[in-house]
Structure formats: structure tokens, C-alpha cells
Amino acid sequence: MKKILLIATGGTIASKPTEVGLVPSITSDEILELAPHIADLCEVSAIQLMNIDSSNMSPKGWIKIANCVKENYENYDGFVITHGTDTLAYTASALSYLIQNSKKPVVMTGSQKSIYLEDTDARKNLYDSFIYACDEKACGVHIVFDSKIIVGTRARKTRTHSYNAFDSVDYPTVGIVFNGRVIYYLEEKIEGETIFYDELNTNVNILKLVPGISPDLFEFIGKASDVLIIEGFGVGGIPCYDGDNSLVEKLHELKKQGKIIILSTSVPHEGSNMEVYQVGYEIKGNLHLLENYNMTTESTVCKMMWITAITKDVEEVEKMFYKPISHDIVY
């Protein structure tokens, strides 16, 4: 029988109603008591690492979770992390960079309704997560939600209330949990030594373009950033209103200051390609901007936090950014 560690961090799955709304207050031991059939799958232990709404999850929390896995790595066959849904995709992405080449499964899950309720998706999501964590082929960082097994770097919350809250963005789901067993669509192979990291650079910010955006915003947010990710329109580009190059000039100034700029897209699927239109082609070439292509926003942010905690050398950052990790970028 495999040994699995439950790491509880809070979220809706652990919430109870109060006069001011749902508040995480159910402990890890109580979660297991409310899902007794998990004991039939494996030998399970639990740690209450934190008990917070996932809106309050931060890079410090990501590091704390990764360190908990590291400290217990040799003593368990796998890990299940309960977490709120709102920032679950960010945490899964962050753990994909903080815990690399894990031959043991690190499984994240949560729910749209509390495990405290009778009518809830919590017990199924939790049970499915343990089924996957106990599977012989399971490895790496994944989200298990609504029966789907999603690579940690490709997940996104796409619905606020429905049980099928998460999708795998521009990458197939690894498989599903069906009738108590794992059915794989893709076979994953982990190569290399398992590596843990414990530093992130939080000076990574996103600026979403809106029509008529002020150039001053580029300067304002750029000053507070080592990395500025710009979510543009369509396949990507920087507008030039009535021949005014102020936006491009601000980016040029930021580049001179050593800022790393990444062009992205606000479109949910199929990624960016700045070379399609003139508004992107010339700017990318002239300013030598990075582009995240089909990476998710969540994985782009977390990858840059990880990279720039290691180095801020522009050439090395570019090299590391375009190196695929856990299927985060697909060429």
C-alpha cells in the first residue's frame, strides 16, 4: 500500500459559512474524516500547512508548499495538495518550476463547494486525486479536477461556479480518472534528477492593453518590475495611434534600463505570433522582445519569477525562458 501525504492549504474545499462569507476553517484531519474511503486506497498522513483563501496565496506560500514536499519527499510515494480554485493554476505552475523532474506525483486539487456540504464536488475531486497519486505511472505536478488530469503548467480556471472549472489550455489532458482507475491519453516520462528550488523573484508584473492605453502606464509599472509581461490584442503587437510611437518609445526606455519585456496575448487560446502583423513584427525585431507564444499567463509569470531569481542576464534569461519545462511551451 502506497504512502501518500495530504498537504492542506485551505480554499473552498476547507471552508465553512460565516456571517461574512465562506472562510477556510476545516482542518486536514477533518477533511480525511469527511472522505473516509481514501483510507482504502493508501496509507495516508496529513499536514495542515496553512488554511487560507487562495486569493491570499502568494509566492511565499508556493515556496512553503515546495519546501514541505521536499522535506517529506523520501518518506512518501506521492503528495496531494488541497487548495482554493482561484489561484490554483498559478500555484500548479509555480510548483512545476520549484519541483522539477519529480518521479513521484505532486497532485493539486480543490472544489467549487465545501467538503462540509452533502452536495459537493469536493469528495470526488479528492478521491480522484488520491487514485491518481497511487497510480504506478503517476509523476510530476498535475491538477486533478472534475475527473481530468491536467499538466500543472497548462491549467487555467475558466468557470467560476461549474464543477468543470478547469481546462487544459492548448495541450491535451494527460488522462482521466474513470470508475476508480486512471485512463491515460498521454504517457509521461520523467528524466533527470529531481531538483527543488526555493527562491522566486516577485518583481514580475502584467500590463493588459486596452484601446487608447496611456504610455505613462508602461513607465509606471515598468519601474516596479524586473519583468513586464504585456498582454496585447490578437496574436500580439503594440499599437501606434495616429502615428504616435509613444508606447514603443516607453518600451525602448525600459529595455535600456535592463527590464525584461515579454509580449503575450489576452486571447485565451492558440497563443501569440507577433510576426504576423506589422504592429508586432517590427517591434519584436527592433527591441528584441521575448514572446510567450502558447504558454499560459500563469506559467509565464511563474517561470519568469523562477528564472530571474537565478539570473537577470538577458541572454541567459532568454535561453531559459524558451527551454520547455513540463510542457509549458510547445513548438
Give the domains, in start order, of the chain with CATH numbers: 3-196 (3.40.50.1170), 204-322 (3.40.50.40)
Give the pLDDT score at 234: 80
Block mean pLDDT (10 aa), the chain, length 331 = 97 91 91 95 97 97 98 98 98 98 98 94 97 97 98 97 96 96 94 96 95 89 93 80 78 90 89 65 74 95 98 95 95 71
Which residue has 528550488 as its cell numbers?
A: 197
From the candidates 12, 120, 265, 297, which is the catalytic residue?
Answer: 12
> Across-strand partners of 148?
145, 176
Look at the pTM and tell me if it is higher than 0.75: yes
Round to whole Å and give the CA distance between 82 and 40. Answer: 19
User: Is 85 a known active-site residue?
Assistant: yes
3-state secondary structure of 96: helix
Give the pLDDT score at 247: 85
Strands 166-168 and 155-157 turn out to be antiparallel
170 assigned to a ligand binding site? no
Give the pLDDT score at 276: 64
Round to whole Å and give the CA distance between 144 and 150. Answer: 6
Measure the CA dihedral 129/131/134/136, to 10°.
Answer: -110
Strands 105-109 and 140-145 turn out to be parallel
Give the pLDDT score at 129: 98
- The per-residue DSSP string of 254-266 comes to HHHTT-EEEEEES
The answer to whether the CB of 97 falls within 8 A of the CB of 45 is no
Angle between helices 88-98 and 297-310 (to 10 degrees): 40
Closest CA to 93 of 66, 111, 70: 66
86 assigned to a ligand binding site? yes
User: Is 160 a known active-site residue?
Assistant: no
pLDDT tens-digit profile of 70-117?
999 999 999 999 999 999 999 999 999 999 999 999 999 999 999 999
Around 49, how many Cα atoms within 13 Å sit in the side-chain half-sphere? 27
242 assigned to a ligand binding site? no
From the candidates 85, 173, 265, 297, which is the catalytic residue?
Answer: 85
Give the pLDDT score at 278: 57
